[in-house]
Structure 1
């Protein structure tokens, strides 16, 4: 994970080092789409570019040139432009006159609004998951916590952030409500990007692991109200830490 200074970009083409890393990241992601049978070019361009933004391979403020993305994706510029227009509508990129598409910045007020929604939905997910999850499914949550501990021990904050996302996503899955899953999917990637962007500027996330253990404990005890309260409190604390960092950046 880079520092804010290292994440800074200039107008024009992607830096050579970033271009190489971006190409490797996108090719790996495209391979996963191949295995899933996704062959539609605009959808492939959309998913791959969104993934690169989410993973900070295309950091906030980075100019996204259609021709370079087309070369990396191995397709013409038409599906790439369709993908960028869709990403603009969703708030991932902005169209700047005489500059082209630029990755949207991470804005504190936007995150505040997203967190307010996600905190409430996380509480609903925790309530439903506590009522519906099996003991074996709760074991999966504990396995993710163990992996998080190992990632933290090795100072691998990228792996930790990914496992943190998996933990919260699994709770939503265990709620077994497809409509809730759909609403959460529309917000979670923006929060993931913010968590990854600020991961090295926040306190070491040992408190989050303790929160996760406590959440699973009350879920095993079949206490849905406690699970809701703890998940919302956990998200609120994370929100405060991240917003403090974002607002302190120049």
Structure 2
């Protein structure tokens, strides 16, 4: 069913006139809206409607849509617009297998290095998750959880690993947002994040790898069970 898009998550200020920067701004707005569920799975909308909302021409929106199609988030429909793709449980299972391996490696690398900025970011995200859990704010918890996992891979000192993990991390964020209301309170996740952080702070690479992989494996099984159900 085609609909006009809801208010998109516009992450850029007034876009620069360059075509590439306009496409980047459209990409950021569309991607954030998909990840946060503002554009839910199955929704169809015209590229021109998105362009009108973002205050730009259709061309940069089309370029952004093609990038997101390559990342597996939407489908470009010729002469119709775009359709947000549903999450396929089998595809997501494979994505999580990749993410478990990459995040485990990132945690081990981070534990072996002195990266105070990365550890501080992880500590802040852990504290924010605890505060959100106490307040019963699932949206705030999910946002802090996403910051934790992104800080983990981005702070590991291996930019290539971080780039490889980026698309998988996006799909995981999307799955987490779509299933949050149907999953138990994330008490166990909070404990697992604290264990990961403790291993990183202690410089224990193997413990950090194991704790990260175990956390992602358990959480992904929970999310997949909801999607399959």
TM-score by length of 2: 0.91
Deviates more, 1:43-52 or 1:130-139: 130-139
Give yes or no for contact 2:15–2:22 (8 Å, CA) kept in 1: no
The yes-or-no answer on 1:115 pairing with 2:105 is: no
The yes-or-no answer on 1:13 pairing with 2:12 is: no
Give yes or no for contact 1:133–1:174 (8 Å, CA) kept in 2: no
Match of 2:223 in 1: 242
Match of 2:12 in 1: 30
The yes-or-no answer on 1:81 pairing with 2:71 is: no
Deviates more, 1:211-220 or 1:53-62: 211-220
SS of residue paired to 1:94:
strand
231 and 80 in structure 1: CA distance in 2 versus 1, 3 angstrom threshold: same
Listed as ranges, the gaps of 5+ residues in structure 1 are 1-10
SS of residue paired to 2:112:
helix
Give yes or no for contact 2:26–2:61 (8 Å, CA) kept in 1: yes
How much does 1:186 deviate?
Answer: 2.2
How much does 1:144 deviate?
Answer: 1.8
Give yes or no for contact 1:135–1:220 (8 Å, CA) kept in 2: no
Following the alignment from structure 1 to structure 2, what is the Cα–Cα distance between the partners of residues 45 and 134?
33
Following the alignment from structure 2 to structure 1, what is the Cα–Cα distance between the partners of residues 211 and 221?
15
Give yes or no for contact 1:138–1:220 (8 Å, CA) kept in 2: yes
Following the alignment from structure 1 to structure 2, what is the Cα–Cα distance between the partners of residues 243 and 182?
24
The yes-or-no answer on 1:214 pairing with 2:209 is: no
The equivalences for 1:1-250 within 5 A come to 11-14=1-4, 19=6, 22-23=7-8, 25-26=9-10, 29-31=11-13, 40-96=21-77, 99-134=80-115, 137-248=118-229
210 and 95 in structure 1: CA distance in 2 versus 1, 3 angstrom threshold: same
Q: Size of the alignment, in residue pairs?
A: 228
40 and 136 in structure 1: CA distance in 2 versus 1, 3 angstrom threshold: closer
Following the alignment from structure 2 to structure 1, what is the Cα–Cα distance between the partners of residues 79 and 25?
27
Following the alignment from structure 2 to structure 1, what is the Cα–Cα distance between the partners of residues 186 and 19?
36
Following the alignment from structure 1 to structure 2, what is the Cα–Cα distance between the partners of residues 214 and 92?
32
Structural RMSD (CA): 2.2
The superposition leaves residues 53-87 of structure 1 with CA deviations (integer Å, 9 ceiling, x where unpaired) of 11111110111211210110101112222222222
Listed as ranges, the gaps of 5+ residues in structure 2 are none
